[in-house]
Structure 1
Amino acid sequence: MLLLILGLLIWSAAHLFKRVAPDRRAAMGDKGRGIVTLGIFAGLALMILGYRMADGAFFWGRHPAMVGINNLLMLFSVYLFAASGLKTAITARIRHPQLTAVKVWALAHILVNGDMPSLVLFGGLLAWAVAEVIVINKQTEWVRPQPPFARDREIKAIVGTVIVYAILSGAHYLLGYPAFG
């Protein structure tokens, strides 16, 4: 569990570094990007290794209703990522679509994974996303995107969501984590 927690801390620190210590990050220049990227990948690797190695208490198991809710939340999460990149209409309603996607993704996974390692991993990433939103909101004012929003972008976001969701579901099956069972 220690590797998992260490990975979460490194991931969070690397992502928050620019917001928490902007002068220090700016002083690093372009070299800082590489260091932050290395921190993000190191945190991710430690989270994966730590999660796969971790043991812990088991509080609840998968339930068909929760699996269905999880899948709907996951579709919405993937859509938010796509919408963010394509600047669809929802980006005028949700200030941080990618961080909201992480929060929805984490919540979806907590619903169907009631063991301690899952609660630490997904709960930790949920906490990071909440903290990130708070820090960003305190530092910057939101300039809400204005309509009109291109219909073709919305179609691309929906098609992309379905494709990426299918790939993620297939990857879960290959890794032994059935998305529909």
Structure 2
Amino acid sequence: MQLMILGLILWTAAHLFKRVAPGLRARMGDIPGKLLVTVLSLAAVFLMVIGFRRAEFEPIYTPWPGMGHLNNLLMLGSVFLFGVSHSKGIVKSKLRHPMLTGVIVWAVAHLLVNGDLASVVLFGGLGLWAVASMVLINAQDSWTPPVPGRIRSDAIGLGISVVIFAVIAAIHIWLGHNPFLGTYG
């Protein structure tokens, strides 16, 4: 669990660096700054995955029956939100932080079906990071919504999201965590 927590701290520090130390980040330059965030992010993901897989199961709460269905629906929405920031559809013009919103939806979805300590720390921690990021960005920068695109772009994005969700589900199954079997009773 300590590796996972170290990974969470590293992830948060790397991603909030620009917001909490903008002068230092600016002095680093654009490419070196992005490279540092990339390297720290990859190290953070590695530590979180290894730490989560090694963590002992310590139950905190029992997920409600039937939450697996809601989890999968929320996960499809989360994947869609991740892609919205790269689309030219209508949804992008309505949400200031589609990717961070996707992280929050992802975190909530996982907390609905995982009641152990490691899950609460990992998913709750990343969800809190996303909320903190939104608050900091909103406090520092104004937002002008982009011109709304076409619904066709959102429909294509949803189709792509279904395919990506299927790949994510297949990877979960391969790792031994079938998302279609948990808390369906």
How does the TM-score come out when normalised to structure 2? Answer: 0.92
State the distance in 2 between where 1:110 and 1:175 align.
Answer: 19
- Deviation (angstroms), 1:155: 2.4
State the distance in 1 between where 2:68 and 2:168 align.
Answer: 15
Conservation of the 8 A alpha-carbon contact between 2:91 and 2:154: no
Q: Which residue of 2 aligns with 1:13?
A: 13
- Deviation (angstroms), 1:90: 1.4
- Segments of 4+ in structure 1 off by > 6 A? none
Q: Which residue of 2 aligns with 1:23?
A: 23
State the distance in 1 between where 2:57 and 2:154 align.
Answer: 42
Q: Which residue of 2 aligns with 1:160?
A: 160
Structure 2 counterparts to residues 131-170 of structure 1, below 5 A: 131-147=132-148, 149-170=149-170
- What is the SS of the residue equivalent to 2:112? helix
State the distance in 2 between where 1:24 and 1:109 align.
Answer: 35
Structure 2 counterparts to residues 36-51 of structure 1, below 5 A: 36-51=37-52
State the distance in 2 between where 1:135 and 1:100 align.
Answer: 14
Q: 1:53 to 1:40 in 2, by over 3 A?
A: same
The CA RMSD measured in Å over matched residues stands at 1.3
State the distance in 1 between where 2:85 and 2:37 align.
Answer: 22
Structure 1, unaligned runs of 5 or more: none
- What is the SS of the residue equivalent to 1:143? coil
Structure 2, unaligned runs of 5 or more: none
Q: Which residue of 1 aligns with 2:83?
A: 82
Counterpart amino acid of residue 27 in structure 2: A
Residue 94 (1) aligns with residue 95 (2): yes
Q: Deviations over 1:100-136 (max 9, x none)?
A: 0000000000110100000000000001000000000
State the distance in 1 between where 2:25 and 2:38 align.
Answer: 13
Q: 1:2 to 1:66 in 2, by over 3 A?
A: same
Aligned-residue identity in percent: 46
Structure 2 counterparts to residues 51-62 of structure 1, below 5 A: 51-61=52-62
Is the deviation greater in 59-68 or in 160-169?
59-68
State the distance in 1 between where 2:155 and 2:122 align.
Answer: 33
Is the deviation greater in 129-138 or in 60-69?
60-69
- Deviation (angstroms), 1:32: 2.1
State the distance in 2 between where 1:33 and 1:89 align.
Answer: 29
Q: Which residue of 1 aligns with 2:119?
A: 118
Q: Which residue of 1 aligns with 2:3?
A: 3
- What is the SS of the residue equivalent to 2:60? strand
- Deviation (angstroms), 1:177: 0.6
- Deviation (angstroms), 1:62: 5.2
